[in-house]
Amino acid sequence: MSALQNLPFNVREIREQFPALRQQVYGKNLIYFDNGATSQKPQLVLDAINHYYSKENANIHRGVHYLSQRATTEYEAARTRIQKRLNAKSSNEIIFTKGTTDGINLVASSFGNMLQAGDEIIISAMEHHSNIVPWQMLCERKGLFLRVIPINFEGEILQDEYEKLLSKKTKLVAITHISNTLGTVNPIKEMIAKAHNVGAKFLVDGAQSIQHMSIDVRDLNCDFFVFSGHKVFGPTGIGVLYGKEDLLDQMPPYQGGGDMIAKVTFERTTYNELPYKFEAGTPHIAGGICLGKAFEYIESIDFKAVEVHERALADYASQVLETFEGLTIIGDAKNKTSVVSFSLKDLHPFDIGTLLDKQGIAVRTGHHCTQPLMDFYKIPGTVRASFAFYNTIEEIDAFVIALERSLNMLK
C-alpha cells in the first residue's frame, strides 16, 4: 500500500477511470503489462463511443441536417484539440489516418512520389516493421536507397554513424522516438537538426512516445510526426499524421475518392484543401471524435509526473529482474523508459508468456515487429513488460513472484 501512496500522482484515482483494469482472468487479478501493444481506455472514451453511436451518428462534411452538422463539429473539434496538444501551427497540419502504419505509408507514397532515383532514405536498426517495409517498397518502386544507422549493444543509435550516412542525397530520415522493444528514448531533436543541415526531411514515429511524454512538434521541428490512437488511450482504427503545412501542400494526394476533391469532371479533378486532401472517403468519425476525448483525458494528467512514475516503474522492474539467474535485459540505454524486455537462458519467451498469462499477467513475447533488431541481438524474441501510467510498483512485485513461479515450473 505504501508504494502507491508515495507515488507522485494518484495512481489509484487514475486506475478507477479504466474499467478493463478491474477484472480477473483465470481467477486472478489482471495485471496489464502489454501497453506497448495497446493501451486500455478510460471511461470518458468508452462513454463517448457509446454516446456517439447512440445520439450523433451521421456522415460528416456533406449533410445539411442537424446530426451531420453536429458530427462534423465534434470531429473538427477533435482535430483542433489534437493540434493544440501537439502545438502544431494549424489544424490543417493534422491528418486523420488509420494509425501509425497508415501514416507512414501515406508519407512513403505521397512524399515518396516527389523523390528521384538515387535519392536516399535513412532509418535505424531499431525500427518497427511499419517504419521499415513501406520505405523498402518505395525504394524498390522508385530506385531509391535505404540506409540503416547501426546501434550499440545497449540499444542506442550510433550518432557518428548517422552523421556519416547523412549527405545531399538524403531526402528523408525516419526514426522511432521511443523503441517499442528496448524502451530507448532517441535524441530526436538533435537528430532532426542534423537532417535539416543536409536539407533532408524528418519523420518521427511517435507510436511509443505520445502516451509517455508531452510532444511539441514545433519545438522538435520535425517535418512529420505519426502515432496511433489506440496506444494513447483512444480507439483502434484511428491515428494522426502531423505534417508541416507547406510540405503537405506540395505533396500529391494519397488516395482518391470522396471528400478529398474540390471538383470532379471526367476530364479533370481538382483536389480539396488541407487536411481533406489526404482524407479520402468516409473517415473513422467515431474514432476521430473519441480520440479527441482521449486527448481531453490526457490533458487532465500531469505528464511531468507521468515521466517520473514510468521511469520509476521501469527502473524498479529492471533492478529486480537483474537478480534472476540467467536473465538478460535487452536494451540498456542511458535514456530509457516504460519498457523492460528480457530473455532467459535456454527458455523460449513464448513458454514464459504462457505461464505468466495463467497467473493473470499480460506481457508480450516474440519479436515485437522488430525482427532485424532480434537478429542483431541473436535471439528469437524477448518477454516484454511495457508500462502505462496506471501501472504500479505492487503489480511489478506480483509479476516478479509469478515469474519466479513460472521458472520453477519450467526447471
Ligand X SMILES: *Cc1c(COP(=O)(O)O)cnc(C)c1O
In the complex, the residues that contact ligand X under the rule CB under 6 A are 99-101, 128, 130-131, 176, 180, 205, 207-208, 228
Asked if residue 184 lies in contact with residue 335, where contact means CB atoms within 8 angstroms, the answer is yes
Q: Closest distance between ligand X and the C-beta of residue 348, in Å?
A: 23
The DSSP bridge pattern shows strands 201-205 and 224-228 to be parallel
303-318 burial, b at 16+ Cβ within 10 Å, e below that, comes to: beebbebbbbbbebbb
Cβ-based nearer residue to ligand X, 109 or 131: 131
* Grid coordinates of 230: 489506440
Q: How far is the CB of 369 from ligand X (least distance, A)?
A: 7
- Give min distance, CB of 156 to ligand X, in A: 16
C-alpha to C-alpha distance for 297 and 302, rounded to whole angstroms = 11
Cβ 209 to ligand X, closest distance in Å?
9
CB of 101 to ligand X, least distance (A): 3
CB-wise, 100 or 365, nearer to ligand X? Answer: 100
CA distance 27 to 228: 32
Question: Would you please indicate which residues are annotated as catalytic (active-site) residues?
Answer: 369
Query: CB of residue 128 vs ligand X: minimum separation in angstroms?
Result: 3
What are 167's three cell numbers?
A: 549527405
Q: Which is nearer to ligand X, 100 or 406 (CB)?
A: 100
d(CA 280, CA 51): 25
| 8 Å CB contact between 382 and 352 | no
Of 101 and 365, CB closest to ligand X: 101
Residue closer to ligand X by CB (options 313, 393) is 313
Residue closer to ligand X, measured from CB, 133 or 305: 133
Whose cell is 535471439? That residue is 379
The amino acid at residue 261 is I
Contact 349, 368 (CB under 8 A): no
Q: Which is nearer to ligand X, 240 or 298 (CB)?
A: 240
Cα-trace Rg, the chain: 22
- Whole-number minimum distance, CB 160 to ligand X, in Å? 24
